[in-house]
Chains A and B, each alone.
Chain A
Amino acid sequence: MKYISREALQTWLDRLANDVTLIAPRLVDDILLYQSVSSAREIVLDYTRPKMSAKEVVLPSSEPILFVEKRGQEVSLTEPSSGAQIIFGLRPCDAHGIAVLDTVFVGQEPIDLNYARRREAITLIGLSCPQMREDCFCTSMGGMPNDPTHFDVLLTEVEDGYAVNTVTDKGRTLVDHLNLEEIKGEPAEPIINETESVLAQEHWPDLFADHYWDLLAERCLECRMCAYLCPVCRCFDVQDQVTQQGISYSKYDRLRCWDSCTGTNYRVVAGGHNPRATKGQRLRNRFFCKFHYFPVEYDHSGCVGCGRCIEACPVNIDIVEVMRDISRAFNASQISNASPDAEKGVTA
């Protein structure tokens, strides 16, 4: 592992900001966000977790996926291009989230060319968390506050500077010419929270029909904040937008925008039928997606344990509490199967 001093890091980041689009934690109206920066000065280095995940960089909240030009009856279609971007200061949970999105969008045929094109040009330079926040649970989702797995380069703070762990060839091409020295000693281990257990995916269907989901959803406002903040939630809508409309010449953008399965009309089909008509069914889909559907479909949890949805939910729907409730209910049902008098279900 190499070492970079604080000063050398500033110089390097300034150069990166000059050469490519550099995204890094930056304060916008007192809210910390992964945003493009023009110099190292703008970057916040002492932080726990930006308000939003870095999903926005790989899958923007709204992006054109097709440009349509119509001249008379002649139509031409153009796909958008994408330039080089580096995300600096990414937390391991957010890199983990991007890795899960990679699995969905490019890990399975047919791949999403739009996502692939942008993602190909993105390099991830991480910054380890010295300790987990109270609402963080990355260690319960297979992550670690200093997990280098999903980065190209991971920096970990040491005295007067950072340990530099170069993970991929993409990272090496960025770091090699810096001629960094070998680090003396090892960075400190992060302070971690107690691990929460999540019920194995194959047992979740046992709790599908439980009344729990309706009770939990009674307070859900369907604000969809949880999905928008989530590094993994990837549901999107596609809409056409007219950007220029004339008699002989028109331009349209086909936009892809974030969406969320907890929204009322999410599943409504032509004719008005809604197979997921209740809030309970929709909220259940959110948690089943994370802990059952994702593991079945992608062999990976649909949650990385960043804790953002816990912090943001206006009615305190807490994903860790849901994990606990479901585990407890399953265990109780196992006991009650053995002894018929015991209470069943989460809400028993």
Chain B
Amino acid sequence: MTPYLGRLVGKKDLGTDIKLLQVELVEPNGKARFADYRPGQFAFVSALGIGEAPFGIASTPSGNGLLEFGIAKVGSVTAALHSLEVGEIVGVRGPLGNGFPMDEMKDKNICVLGGGIGGAPLRPVIRDILDQRSDYGHLTILWAARNPSLLVFTDEYDLWRSAPNTELHVTVDEGDEEWKAAGGNEGLITQLLETIAPSPENAVTITCGPPAMLHFVTLTLHELGFSLDQMWTTLEARMHCGICKCGRCNMGDKFVCTDGPVFRQDEVAGFLETYL
């Protein structure tokens, strides 16, 4: 439960009240612990004196050596993290959770569906695939948010679009004038999904977003012919330890922290409780 110390070395705006925090771990044991982590794992980030909260890690170990977190300002800890100055010390505890089984997805066509800040834990998935592009099949990225200002990692669109065998489609529930003028998609991610209609043949999907989106994306994917065991998701739950002690994140007899946060939809369907 004791975090490693890290220094905030970068802070970028990702959207309205959404920031990317870049952290460099300062202690050798912290660096060693985070030398290798998987897409989909998470970590607790502390604003010391305010508290800590869990966030999907938005970076990959292959990147710039920094731990990155996409953080939306929704409460006291995230507000405190947003207000930190570059150079200040934070605590980082992890990596925790199971992560996406990237090895199982090799040679498959992959459809990644991100909704709002739910895009943050999917960025390392996209990065991992692009890093080893020939290991995977076709990559379809569906990226959505309530409005254009809540779309995350927009500065990486060009990188994603220009990658071989990769397509990106973006939609917002409601566009502003600029969005409409540029001819951007409007509508829910499920409508976009129906339009793009990826083939379920030799394919898997990876979804992260708010509970209602997860629910309806699952239904739409099902209509498109995907079976539940082709759909992966990462779930959010309030938690305080991340190591299966605090009891907070249970969904029936499963714990989001250690049994997840990544689950296959057929597992989720078998849970006693739903995330809805």
Size of the B side of the interface (Cβ < 8 Å), in residues, is: 42
Q: Known contacts A205-B272, A236-B246: does B253 contact A293 (CB below 8 Å)?
A: yes
Residues from chain B with a CB closer than 8 A to the CB of A104 are 245
Contact A288 B210 (CB under 8 A): no
Contact B48 A73 (CB under 8 A): no
Closest partner residue, chain A, to B236 (CB atom): A269
Contacts of A67-125 to chain B: CB distance below 8 A: 68, 70, 73-75, 77, 79, 104-105, 108, 110, 112-115
Please report the C-alpha to C-alpha distance between residue A115 and residue B246 in the assembled complex, in whole angstroms: 12
Size of the A side of the interface (Cβ < 8 Å), in residues, is: 51
Closest partner residue, chain B, to A115 (CB atom): B245
Flag whether B276 is at the interface (Cβ < 8 A).
yes
Contact A75 B87 (CB under 8 A): no
Q: Which of B35-43, B70-78, B166-174, B223-231 forms contacts with chain A? A: B70-78
Contact A296 B3 (CB under 8 A): no
Q: Which of B49-57, B124-132, B176-184, B199-207 forms contacts with chain A? A: B49-57
Q: Known contacts A236-B240, A252-B49: does B5 contact A77 (CB below 8 Å)?
A: yes
Partner of B245, one of A70, A234, A245, A250: A234
Flag whether B244 is at the interface (Cβ < 8 A).
yes
- When each residue 207-228 of chain B gets 1 if its CB lies under 8 Å from chain A and 0 otherwise, what string results? 0001100000000000000000
Contact B50 A73 (CB under 8 A): no
Scoring A266, A275, A289 by chain B CB atoms within 10 A of each residue's CB, the highest score goes to A275
Partner of B1, one of A66, A70, A288: A66
Please report the C-alpha to C-alpha distance between residue A65 and residue B241 in the assembled complex, in whole angstroms: 12
Partner of A112, one of B3, B50, B245, B248: B245
For the residues of B in contact with A, the DSSP-based class is loop
Contact A240 B49 (CB under 8 A): yes
Contact A275 B211 (CB under 8 A): yes
Residues from chain B with a CB closer than 8 A to the CB of A240 are 46, 48-52
Contact A208 B272 (CB under 8 A): yes
Contact B243 A269 (CB under 8 A): no
Contact B74 A270 (CB under 8 A): yes
Partner of A73, one of B78, B88, B251: B88
Contact B49 A273 (CB under 8 A): no
Please report the C-alpha to C-alpha distance between residue A236 and residue B89 in the assembled complex, in whole angstroms: 26
For the residues of A in contact with B, the DSSP-based class is mixed
CB distance from A257 to the nearest CB of B (A): 10
Contact B48 A75 (CB under 8 A): yes
Flag whether B238 is at the interface (Cβ < 8 A).
yes
Flag whether B250 is at the interface (Cβ < 8 A).
yes
CB distance from A120 to the nearest CB of B (A): 16
Contact A238 B51 (CB under 8 A): yes
Contact A288 B245 (CB under 8 A): no
Residues from chain A with a CB closer than 8 A to the CB of B276 are 275
Contact A296 B89 (CB under 8 A): no
Residues from chain A with a CB closer than 8 A to the CB of B28 are none
Contact B273 A70 (CB under 8 A): no
Q: Known contacts A267-B237, A267-B238: does B2 contact A79 (CB below 8 Å)?
A: yes
- When each residue 247-273 of chain B gets 1 if its CB lies under 8 Å from chain A and 0 otherwise, what string results? 110111101000000000000000011
Contact A266 B88 (CB under 8 A): no
Flag whether A242 is at the interface (Cβ < 8 A).
yes
Flag whether B274 is at the interface (Cβ < 8 A).
yes
Closest partner residue, chain A, to B72 (CB atom): A270
Please report the C-alpha to C-alpha distance between residue A237 and residue B252 in the assembled complex, in whole angstroms: 19
Residues from chain A with a CB closer than 8 A to the CB of B253 are 292-293, 296-297
Flag whether A261 is at the interface (Cβ < 8 A).
yes
Q: 11 extra interchain contacts, Cβ-Cβ under 8 A, other than A271-B210, A297-B255?
A: A65-B1, A66-B3, A68-B49, A77-B3, A77-B91, A114-B1, A240-B52, A242-B49, A270-B72, A270-B78, A289-B250
- A–B pairs, 16, beta carbons within 8 Å: A70-B49, A70-B89, A74-B89, A77-B5, A235-B248, A240-B49, A245-B49, A266-B238, A267-B248, A269-B238, A270-B78, A275-B273, A275-B274, A281-B273, A285-B250, A292-B253
